[in-house]
Amino acid sequence: MSDNNLNEAQKRVGVYVCHCGGNISDVVDIKKIVDEISKYHSVVVARDYVFMCSSNGQSLIEDDIKNMGINRIVVAACMPSLHELTFRNAIQRAGLNPYLYEHINIREQVSWVHKDNPQGATSKAILLIKAGVEKVLMQDPLNAIRVNAEHRVLIIGGGISGMRAAVSSADNGIEVVIVEKEKKLGGKLNRDGYVYPSDEKAVDIVNKFSKKILSNPLIKVYTESEIINIGGYVGNFDIKIKKTDGDIDNIKAGSIIVATGFDHYMPYDGEYGYKKSDYVLRLKEFIELLSKSDGLEFVFKGKKINSIGFIHCVGSRQNEGIDAPQADGKVNEYCSRVCCTSGIYTMNKLKEKFPDVNVYDVYADIRTYGMESESLYEIASKHDVIFFRRPLDERPQITFEGDKIKITTTDILSFNERLEMEVDMLVLLTGMKPSEIDDISGYLKLSKSTNRFLQEVHPKLRPVEMNINGVFAAGTSLSPMDITESLQSAQTAAMKSAILLSNPDIPLDPFVAVVDEERCTGCGRCVEECLYSGAVTITEKTIDGNIKKVAYVNPAMCKGCGACVAVCSERAIDLNGSRLSQFEAMIDAIVKE
Amino acid sequence: MKEINIDVAVIGSGIAGLEASLDVADAGYKVALIEKSPSIGGRMISLSKVFPTLDCASCITTPKMAAVSHHPFINMMTYTEVREIKKNDDGFDLYAIKKPRYINEGECISCKKCEEVCPVYIEDDFEHELSPKKAISIPFTNAVPQLPVLDMNKCIRCGACARICPKDCIDYLQKAEEIHIKAHSVIISTGYDITPMNAKKEYNAISIPNVISPLQMERLLAPHGPYGKVIRPSDGKIPESIAYVQCAGSRDKSIGVPYCSRVCCMYAIKQAMLLSGSLPLADITIYYMDIRAFGKGYEEFYSEARAMGINFVKAKVARITADEKGSPVLRIEHQEEASKPKEIKHDLVVLSQGMIPAVRDFLGLDLEINEYGFVSSRDKTLNPSQTNIDGVFVCGVARGPKDIPDTIADAGSAAVSAVNYIKSIKGKSL
Amino acid sequence: MQQNNKSKILIIATNHSSYPGANAVGQAHISYPSNTYIIRVPDPVMFPEDFYINSFKKGISGIIIMSSGSDCPYEGAYKRLSKRIENVYIKMKELNISTERLRLTTICTVCREAFIKEISDMERIVSK
């Protein structure tokens, strides 16, 4: 920690301003920034580059550290969630402590929001960079805190994603605990009937996995069990599981994979005639009915079924003002991704079994994306399924006449003609909605997307990682997916969890509270204020031969909220990486000009 | 022959190969990432912005490229082509050729002086022929590694580069190098090509310069693209009316691509949104069959595009011709109104071409591919990454058309499969 | 810009939600005035009461604390924070600083409209 002892004159700041290929430089006057920042105190060098995040850009910084003795870095570029880590790594490669670095966001918070005021944007960028210089000058080198990690992963949910993640994790040598609320593993695949794209029985897929799981000594399965609390942190999560018999098991896990899946959208009474007639079924109900129906004729509840209508996008692709909102007042704007293919696959199954049944399909877009799905669509056309395309902002009307169900819709394919057709049965292609997991997301404080599915950190940079370190998500807990896509996502989550647990100890961010023992009077105000019992305590310590009461912070338990900092009258407790004095210095820089 | 021993050979360094390599290496296994082009990064690094978040493609790809190039467990082998793959009892033997760049790679300081003085201009494949480059040049701005390549077929042997090089790196006599890579496992991430421009003869895409490919449009829209703005290639005019022809290389039996390529709807919508940002006065029309906005946040993205005033017209484009000024004229068969086919003129037309596999021959490896040339999964509902051969895994578009988020999710799947496979064989040998 | 010299608005944004929320505004390319300075903190609960008073004394015209509210990763921090801010209001009254110039609010990661509204409200207050 010799860097702590550098005096002001020995601190040499390098400032690096990114053009982001025009994203920043089209609005902000980069040359002006560089000119002005070069003149600012302690700044030894200020440079700009078209893509600072590229290898070349990173090399600029690394070279300056090595050749010019730069020991404090400020990068002004895009939002830190994209590249803070990129630059930290570059700085570390050059031999400098990676935390002697401040990232200033001049894209999302400057150039993209002040397009109409380039001059204002430039002045703001300059002040923010100066504030960044002030902050980094007061920054101490920090070292990652290493915590021991349990070599065990908790998988919440025993559907296809959870089962896949369990097998992949166990194959990696990691102990697995699966918690499933139902009686057996398999989730939504525990049903009659077949699935695309493999044309297998759904339960056969479940059996493939349950065989592997039940025979694997590394995997422990809790069925009919419920998680009633999760505490702890990455490497050391504490989980309470309530079992069928009411007993509670406490287990520890190093990482968590949330594979809580989806629920079927449930139409409200009367939505497209649902519950108004026995002959209006959800797709899931229809698949089960079809798998049980045999013989020459399709008969249901005493009625021979000669014609069936299918309605797409029930509970998906909804519009405000057209569709009734969900319990939270919002409509499901998203596409559920699987219903087109699943529906058309089922129509083909129907036609194979009962070729004489007429099938009418009312859709907005047919989304049989990819290879196998598109060929299913083609097969459906060969089976003489008749397709009607409705306008995006219209919904088919369902009425009942005798024992017939009447569908009224506008059909674009026949040049916007208003059509009426009578069918014996109606199948609603209902979409997916996220499972009710407020308990789990509450224990773990997980972020959710606007569509209420879990929110990954970034769809491309970190697609299975949650906002909480050590927690991953897989499958339809993230968004609608089909089986193959769920498997991919589950394996990726298992990979990321395995990487995390591949070392016996996990490096953690060092942003925790620290105590200046010389200043501390041991008054205990910080202990009272602390939100995490045990994270800060008062201990006796021998300092310069005298026994003294001082505060002690347990870095693995401190979460770095800083509540203690605000109440210390001696300014003896502070937050690593976010010291109070650093923010005060930033404000001084902002008000200066 | 140079011999390299590693755990996993990853073939192809697009976003799928980058991701898979990083995952395998982060898990503590050694990787050889083999790329036939002079830079890693694949298709994604040449894109402008990516849907549905509109992040700049470069900003997502460059850090991954940098991480790969710095990773202690990754041997990045660029400009290297695999010639033969053999399965043996221990794993796989890959025989590769490292092509000559005609420079001393260890000495080059990437100063680009050779590029400045070279008098020969050649087609720039990175810019999809929209602009030229020098016969000796670093492939593109963000290329990794930052090493120039000399195109010996076009070089006039003037010696200008050799004279100016401060490190005396130019080596006109450099030979290809043979490399033998021994690996326990192989990940195939060879990605895609787009369907050829001339696949659909009725569109005359080769003879009409203002009918362009979506990858060309990506370069026109990229902040560091060839012109820095969107202009039409024939005369540099700023287009006032731009059209997208959807399914111009997919869902079409007549060109041998009956499947849906999964990404064309979304990239067309994305490009249309970017265009309406950079050319606010332009009319943008998308002629389509079905809009397949099926991924997370995609439907919302599509709604946003409609709200921005982009025209979505359900119609088939039967033919494209050009008027005397070179503007494409589209013969449109509307599906929404009962009318005779119409002829509509646009300044610039983008053909939304589909995806076809970049590699169909795996050089001695008896890999099962499907009727369209994509690598098959042994069991799609058990482990989609597992091919018919033990120890060989596949990810990304090599397995079938995919967008970027799906490709990234797929790469981790192949990585964990390869890592676990190695664990299982090493466990047995212990 | 004159506007910048006259009235500066300090925005205290949290790593967890309002800082990404401000980025979401940027990603949507929604414009707002440039006299706004965002500082990124783990949680505003770390600032003592005097921090706000001193910032006003230094010349900051308005402060918007954009907390994570119920999304806060630090359980109980919001309660502590709001109590702290009540005390700051008392001090502000004593010092004759208009309490309108300090605003405690909650901004989520996708709260674009709320973010813009907070800024335009404060803009109106400080331009008085």
**Chain C contact for A29, CB < 8 A?**
no
Residue at which a domain ends, from B355, B372, B407: B355
- Residue-averaged pLDDT of chain C: 90
Q: Do B416 and A495 touch (CB under 8 A)?
A: yes
Whether residue A156 has pLDDT greater than 60:
yes
What chains are in contact with C, requiring at least 3 Cβ pairs below 8 Å? A
Q: Quick one: average pLDDT of A460-484?
A: 93
**Chain A contact for C79, CB < 8 A?**
no
Q: How far apart are CA A248 and CA A227, in angstroms?
A: 9
**Chain C contact for A120, CB < 8 A?**
yes
List the single residue in B258, B381, B401 with the smallest CB-CB distance to A483.
Answer: B381
CA distance C21 to chain A (A): 10
CA distance A254 to chain C (A): 19
pLDDT number for residue B428: 59
Q: Quick one: average pLDDT of B182-209?
A: 95
Same domain assignment for residues B222 and B93: no
Q: Tell me, what CATH number does B117's domain have?
A: 3.30.70
pLDDT tens digits, B366-389: 999 999 999 999 999 999 999 999
Q: How far apart are CA A229 and CA A537, in angstroms?
A: 25
pLDDT tens digits, B170-194: 999 999 999 999 999 999 999 999 9
CA nearest A465 in B: which residue?
B409
Q: Do A119 and C1 touch (CB under 8 A)?
A: yes
**Chain C contact for A580, CB < 8 A?**
yes
Share of chain B above pLDDT 70, in %: 99
Same domain assignment for residues B167 and B105: yes
Q: Quick one: average pLDDT of B317-321?
A: 95
CA nearest A87 in B: which residue?
B63
Q: How far apart are CA B137 and CA B118, in angstroms?
A: 9
pLDDT number for residue A82: 76
B147: domain range? 100-174
User: Exposure pattern of A488-505 as b/e (b: 16+ CB <10 Å)?
Assistant: bbbbbbbbbbbbbbbeee
**Chain A contact for C59, CB < 8 A?**
yes
* Amino acid at residue number A292: K
Whether residue B217 has pLDDT greater than 80:
yes
Q: How far apart are CA B83 and CA B86, in angstroms?
A: 10
**Chain A contact for B141, CB < 8 A?**
yes
pLDDT tens digits, B339-354: 778 999 999 999 999 9
Q: Do C35 and A565 touch (CB under 8 A)?
A: no
pLDDT tens digits, A175-206: 999 999 999 999 999 999 999 989 999 999 99
What dihedral angle (degrees, nearest 10) is formed by the CA atoms of A322, A324, A326, A329? 70
Say if residues A389 and A328 touch (Cβ distance below 8 Å).
no
Say if residues A357 and A295 touch (Cβ distance below 8 Å).
no
- On the question of a common fold for A152-261+435-506 and A266-431, the answer reads yes
CA distance A352 to chain B (A): 23
pLDDT number for residue B430: 42
Residues of A in contact with B27 (CB under 8 A): 495, 498-499, 502
**Chain C contact for A384, CB < 8 A?**
no
pLDDT number for residue B339: 72
Residues of C in contact with A107 (CB under 8 A): 26
Whether residue C106 has pLDDT greater than 70:
yes
CA nearest B304 in A: which residue?
A333
Q: Do C37 and A590 touch (CB under 8 A)?
A: yes
**Chain A contact for B118, CB < 8 A?**
no
Q: How far apart are CA C46 and CA C54, in angstroms?
A: 15
To the nearest 10 degrees (0 to 180), the angle between helices B57-70 and A55-68 is 50
Segment (H or E) for A422: strand A417-423
Q: Tell me, what CATH number does B257's domain have?
A: 3.50.50.60
pLDDT tens digits, B227-254: 878 999 899 999 999 999 999 989 999 8
**Chain A contact for C58, CB < 8 A?**
yes
Whether residue A403 has pLDDT greater than 80:
yes
Residues of A in contact with B141 (CB under 8 A): 50-51, 54
**Chain A contact for B5, CB < 8 A?**
no
- Residue-averaged pLDDT of chain B: 93
More confident residue, C112 or B408: B408
Q: How confident is the model at residue A53 (pLDDT cuts 50, 70, 90)?
A: confident
pLDDT number for residue C97: 96
List the single residue in A195, A367, A498 with the smallest CB-CB distance to B294.
Answer: A367
Residue at which a domain ends, from B337, B355, B373: B355
CA nearest C7 in A: which residue?
A591
Residues of C in contact with A451 (CB under 8 A): none
Share of chain A above pLDDT 90, in %: 83
pLDDT tens digits, A114-150: 999 999 999 999 999 999 999 999 999 998 888 899 9
**Chain C contact for A457, CB < 8 A?**
no
Whether residue A17 has pLDDT greater than 70:
yes
Whether residue A561 has pLDDT greater than 50:
yes
Residues of B in contact with A54 (CB under 8 A): 58, 62, 65-66, 141-142, 144
Q: How confident is the model at residue A3 (pLDDT cuts 50, 70, 90)?
A: low
CA distance A382 to chain C (A): 45
Domain count, chain B: 3
Question: Which of A45-49, A494-498, B139-143, B370-374 is predicted with the least confidence, judged by mean pLDDT?
Answer: B139-143
Q: Quick one: average pLDDT of A210-229?
A: 97
Q: Which CATH superfamily is domain A152-261+435-506 in?
A: FAD/NAD(P)-binding domain (3.50.50.60)
**Chain A contact for B293, CB < 8 A?**
yes
| Domain A1-144 bears CATH identifier 3.30.70 | no
**Chain A contact for C87, CB < 8 A?**
no
Whether residue C3 has pLDDT greater than 50:
no
Domain C2-126 falls in which CATH fold? Rossmann fold (3.40.50)
List the single residue in A55, A483, A494 with the smallest CB-CB distance to B416.
Answer: A494
Q: Do A483 and B298 touch (CB under 8 A)?
A: no
Whether residue B326 has pLDDT greater than 50:
yes
List the single residue in A119, A447, A562 with the smallest CB-CB distance to C42.
Answer: A562
Domain A512-575 falls in which CATH fold? Alpha-Beta Plaits (3.30.70)
Same domain assignment for residues B184 and B38: yes
In the stretch 256-275 of chain A, residues with CB closer than 8 A to chain C read none
DSSP letters for A434-464: E---HHHHHHHT--B-TTSSB--SBTTTBTT
Segment (H or E) for A426: strand A425-430
Share of chain C above pLDDT 90, in %: 69
Residues of A in contact with C8 (CB under 8 A): 590-591
Distance of CA C64 to the CA centre of its chain: 2
Separation of first and last alpha carbons in chain A: 35
Separation of first and last alpha carbons in chain C: 18
Q: How confident is the model at residue A445 (pLDDT cuts 50, 70, 90)?
A: confident
Residues of B in contact with A203 (CB under 8 A): none
Q: SS3 string of chain B? A: CEEEECCEEEECCCHHHHHHHHHHHHCCCCEEEECCCCCCCCCHHHCCEECCCCEEHHHHHHHHHHHHHHCCCEEEECCEEEEEEEECCCCEEEEEEECCCCECCCCCCCCCHHHHHCCCEEECCCCCCCCEEECEECCCCCCCCCCCEECCCCCCCCCHHHHHCCCCCECCCCCCEEEEEEECEEEECCCEEECCCCCCHHHCCCCCCCEECHHHHHHHHCCCCCCCCCCCCCCCCCCCEEEEECCCCCCEHHHCECCCCCCHHHHHHHHHHHHHHHCCCCEEEEEECCCCCCCCCHHHHHHHHHHCCCEEEEEEEEEEEECCCCCEEEEEEECCCCCCCEEEECCEEEECCCEEECCCCCCCCCCCECCCCCECCCECCCECCECCCCCEEECHHHHCCCCHHHHHHHHHHHHHHHHHHHHHHHHHHC
Q: How high is the ipTM of this complex? A: 0.96
CA distance A541 to chain B (A): 41
- Residue-averaged pLDDT of chain A: 94
Domain boundaries, chain A: 1-144, 152-261+435-506, 266-431, 512-575
Q: How far apart are CA A338 and CA A352, in angstroms?
A: 21
pLDDT number for residue A2: 44
Q: How far apart are CA B27 and CA B285, in angstroms?
A: 47
pLDDT tens digits, C25-68: 887 789 999 999 999 999 999 999 999 999 999 999 999 999 98
Same domain assignment for residues B169 and B182: no
Q: Which CATH superfamily is domain A266-431 in?
A: FAD/NAD(P)-binding domain (3.50.50.60)
